[in-house]
Amino acid sequence: MDISEILSPKFTEFDIRTPLSKVAGAFENQELDAIVVTDSDEYRGIVHRRQLASSSNHPSAKVGSQVQHVPTVERTEDVREVARLMIGSDAKALPVLHDDRVVGVVTADDVLEAVRPFLDAATVDDAYTAELISATPETTIGKALNILREAGIAHLPVVDGKDLVGMLSLYDVIDFTMRGGSKSQGGSPGSFGGRGRSGSSHGGFGARGGDSDRLLDLPVRNLMSSTVATVERSAQLDVVVETMFEQGISSLVVTTDDSGEPVGIITKTDVIEALTWERDDRSAVQVFGLDLLEEMDYDDVSALIESMVSKYGEMSVIKASIELQEHKEQSRGVPLVLARIRLVTDRGYFTADGEGYGAAHALRLAANAVERQLLKGKTYGQSKKHSDSNEQEQLYGWWLGG
């Protein structure tokens, strides 16, 4: 299955010199996840909504300063390869190019909508992240904001003991703090980043006009949504996607089938990543942009990953994804390259970037950064469980045979 029928020819485009304040307004007023950035009609990159909400920039700063270089695809690209590129580049939207011009975009939602009928072969238990990063009702908004940014997530479940009592959105926090918290009692925050809410009003935080110095000290119970979408571990992934689309959200809290205790979270990214699973272990290491590595081949990259992991005790690599992106900047004829490593192991999930002149240099810098995380035991989530070969054959047979 290719993306020719699911890409959207309609997209929002801004020149690199456009002020970020104008771009932020576009995200606020439209249902956008990403915008395309160009320079005199030449494609330059993507800016994502979450990326803009998570960064601190002066309103007069230009959008070119926030450009993310993501892979581009052709209209005939296979949907599974698009899923791999999205996971490898941490991008929820990829530009579709024809004759070096952007002719559309393909989003994670487009991919999920296309494959939804085939997702009944896998369950939440196969794909969810079995570590629930959460806050308590008394956690301060400032601390919650730091958790959201450090973990690179947009939604933070609020748990009181074993009870799931609410959900806090990154966009609600940003909106609340930027607007000075001057809300009516029981009102809902403004519309910036409004997608992804559960729809209920937020708790009573009275008007605090001008009292911005203490906003971050307020407890999250004053801002969280009291309605949270949940799903049991036995639910099929097609039901997960359907629920996300119906409620306009991007994550569900995973609960046990018997007691309803929250045990993890499943996101659209988790489901997209399920599309990249292999039917065997031969491709545990995936490399995107291998042609940039003039000094190394696939076996060298695999050996680098194995050597890196073997230094830190018994650890098994479930999946390693390496993404290499070449920039136009050069030094003595050598291009600047961004290398991103995402490492899924039986002891957790590790990710880091490295940027250097030459792909091999960038890759080694990224590997050094991952090693520092391994040394500190810094993880962002427990390993995901993969479905057995029969389930995967059922799930992927519709396009693997083509």
Which range has the worst mean pLDDT, 38-42, 146-150, 210-214, 279-283?
279-283
Instruction: Clarify whether residues 268 and 322 are in a common domain.
Output: no
At residue 278, the pLDDT reads 52
**pLDDT band for position 361 (cuts 50, 70, 90):** very high
Contact between residue 93 and residue 33 where contact means Cβ atoms under 8 Å apart? yes
Residues 138, 246: one domain?
yes
> What pLDDT does 93 receive?
86
Nearest-angstrom CA–CA distance, 223 and 243: 24
In the predicted model, what is the mean pLDDT of the chain?
A: 76
Domain count within the chain: 3
Query: What is the domain extent for residue 323?
Result: 285-376
Q: With bands split at pLDDT 50, 70 and 90, how would you rate the model's confidence at 216? A: confident
Q: Is the same domain home to 184 and 269? A: yes
**Owner of token pair 């693997």:** 400
- pLDDT digits 0-9 by tens, 9-20: 888 888 889 888
Share of the chain above pLDDT 70, in %: 78
* 145-154, 187-196, 238-247, 259-268: the lowest-pLDDT one: 187-196
* 41-45, 174-178, 361-365, 386-390: least confident range: 386-390
Contacts of 367 (CB under 8 A, 6+ apart): 304, 305, 308, 341, 354
One domain for residues 230 and 356: no
**Average pLDDT for residues 263-271, to the nearest whole number?**
88
Residue 392 falls inside a structural domain: no
Q: Are 94 and 209 within one domain?
A: no
- Residue 365, pLDDT > 90, answer yes
Say if residue 165 is in the same domain as residue 258: yes
Q: What is the pTM of this model?
A: 0.62
- Is pLDDT larger for residue 316 or for residue 230? 230
Same domain, 265 and 134: yes
**Is the domain of 191 the same as that of 308?**
no
Together in a domain, 32 and 164: no
217 with 151, same domain: the answer is yes
**Burial call 138-169: b when 16+ CB within 10 Å, e when fewer:** ebebbbbbebbeeeebbbbbbbeeeebebbbb
- Please state the φ and ψ torsions of residue 41, each to the nearest 5 degrees: 75, 0
Looking at residue 178, what is its pLDDT?
62
- At 255, list the tokens: 């609960």
Q: Are residues 311 and 241 in the same domain?
A: no
Query: What CATH number is attached to the domain comprising 336?
Result: 3.30.160.100
Q: pLDDT at residue 95 above 60?
A: yes
Please tell me whether residues 153 and 262 are part of one structural domain: yes
In a domain, 280, yes or no: no
Instruction: Examine residue 381 and state whether it is found in any structural domain, yes or no.
Output: no
Task: Give the CATH number for residue 88.
Answer: 3.10.580.10
pLDDT at 235: 92
pLDDT at 148: 85
